C-alpha cells in the first residue's frame, strides 16, 4: 500500500479535475490511485514511488485536458493537437461522445497498455 502522503499528490491535484464534471473526475482519480498502488512494488523506495505518482498525475492531467477540450470546450482541433503532442496511442473518438464514456474508454485503454 502506498503511503497516504504520496497519494495526497493525486487527491490534492486540482488540475486533474479542472473543467470536467464529477463523474469523470471520480473515474480519473480512482484510476490514478489504483494504478499507483498496482504499479508500486513493495521493495521500491519512497522516492521511486513518488516519481511514479508524479508521472501518473502528468498523464492524468493530459487525459483530463483532452476530455475537457473534446467534450466541454468543443475545441476538437486543440484536442487533436494535444493528442499528438502527448503521443496518445488510444483510438481517437469520432464525433459526439459523452464525457463519461470517453473517459471510460481512455482509461480502459490506458489500463490495458500498462
- For the chain, give every domain's residue range: 4-113
pLDDT digits (tens, 9 = 90+) for 84-100: 999 999 999 988 999 99
**CA 49, CA 74: separation in Å to the nearest integer?**
36
For the record, the C-alpha cell of 66 comes out as: 483532452
**CA 24, CA 103: separation in Å to the nearest integer?**
6
Q: What is the pLDDT of residue 2?
A: 62
Global confidence as pTM: 0.91
pLDDT digits (tens, 9 = 90+) for 55-71: 999 999 999 999 999 99
Contact status, residue 64 vs residue 13, Cβ threshold 8 Å: no
φ and ψ at 6, to 5 degrees? -75, -35
Amino acid at each position: 500500500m502506498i503511503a497516504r502522503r504520496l497519494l495526497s499528490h493525486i487527491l490534492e491535484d486540482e488540475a486533474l479535475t479542472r473543467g470536467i464534471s464529477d463523474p469523470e473526475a471520480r473515474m480519473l482519480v480512482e484510476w490514478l490511485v489504483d494504478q499507483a498502488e498496482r504499479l508500486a512494488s513493495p521493495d521500491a523506495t519512497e522516492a521511486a514511488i513518488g516519481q511514479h505518482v508524479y508521472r501518473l498525475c502528468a498523464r492524468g492531467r493530459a487525459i483530463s485536458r483532452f476530455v475537457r477540450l473534446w467534450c466541454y470546450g468543443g475545441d476538437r482541433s486543440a484536442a487533436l493537437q494535444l493528442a499528438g503532442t502527448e503521443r496518445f496511442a488510444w483510438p481517437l473518438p469520432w464525433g459526439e461522445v459523452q464525457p463519461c464514456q470517453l473517459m471510460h474508454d481512455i482509461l480502459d485503454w490506458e489500463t490495458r497498455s500498462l
